[in-house]
Amino acid sequence: MKSSFFSVLFFSFAILCCSAPFGAEAWLKPKIPISSLITKTLFDSFFLHKDDTACPAKDFYTYHSFILASKSFPAFGTTGCLATRKREIAAFLAQISHETTGGWATAPDGPFAWGLCFKEEISPQSNYCDSTNTQWPCFPAKSYKGRGPIQLSWNYNYGPAGKALGFDGLRNPDIVANNSVIAFKTGLWFWMTEQKPKPSCHDVMVGKYLPTEADIAANRTSGYGLVTNIINGKLECGIPDDARVNDRIGFFQRYTKLFNVDTGPNLDCAYQQPF
């Protein structure tokens, strides 16, 4: 009974938006392609300054690359009603914007207009090699620092991402900062892939997340804040009014407004325990 109750409770997060005007029939209509939900004009309005000369990633993160990469993940932005689909796209773009932001408090057009300014971590503190991970062994002289829109890090992420996407992430991690389609694919791979005990960000945003007893005890409730927990909870969650979390929320609020959808509940992870 408990499992059934929570299934209904968390599934309702996604389907409430479909009650009107779309109705349940919205789930049965043909899928709307990503390109019709986020046009190039809208994409450019999200990322007003990504191609400024001040941004190291100038001209790297193109709209074409994003759309092309999304085709490798057909469930992304096509699951649920129209509002859910838009909200998921907004959530993904907001999270990668925080990871790559070049904004500051008094930046032109505001701090949340500067996503996708960086394509790799500047001055990494290590080579991000977990030598205890024998499944995905590091290669000599290779750095597994943050690269791409999600700032993919560590050998245990580069290895499986490369295997899933068709490149050698352990021997050639630099490709994530040199090929824009692969860069976007790594971000979407991380978004769509469940890494237990963490659910996938996708499942959270479309209402498929079913919390375990441990999740319930840890107050890991469904919403945008749980996505932040999945991405960087050990450093950012369980901390009231954390500036990094607030930055992620700021991007999301701006993007959902441009999409003309609400943000949904539970924006932060201030009172969630990390995974």
Q: Which of 99, 120, 121, 236 is catalytic?
A: 99
Closest CA to 117 of 167, 46, 169, 175: 46
Specify whether 99 is catalytic: yes
State how far Cα 243 lies from the chain centre: 18
**Which residues are catalytic, by number?**
99
